[in-house]
Amino acid sequence: MEDCANTMVVRYKKDGCEHLAAIVTLGSLRLDVNGAVKGVLGAKRISFARREIATEQSAMEFGGITAFGLPPSWRVLVDAAVMERRQVVMGAGIREAKLLLAPSVLPQLGNVEVAQLTLPVGEPDGA
Q: What is the CATH number of the domain that holds 67?
A: 3.90.960.10
Number of domains in the chain: 1
pLDDT of residue 2: 81
Domain limits for position 24: 4-106
CA dihedral for 65, 87, 103, 116, sign (positive or negative): positive
Q: For residues 70-81, give the mean pLDDT.
A: 96
Q: For the full predicted model, state whether its pTM sits above 0.95.
A: no
pLDDT digits (tens, 9 = 90+) for 42-63: 999 999 999 999 999 999 999 9
127 within some domain: no
What are the start-end ranges of the E strands in the chain? 4-14, 17-26, 45-48, 75-79, 88-91, 98-101, 112-115
121 within some domain: no
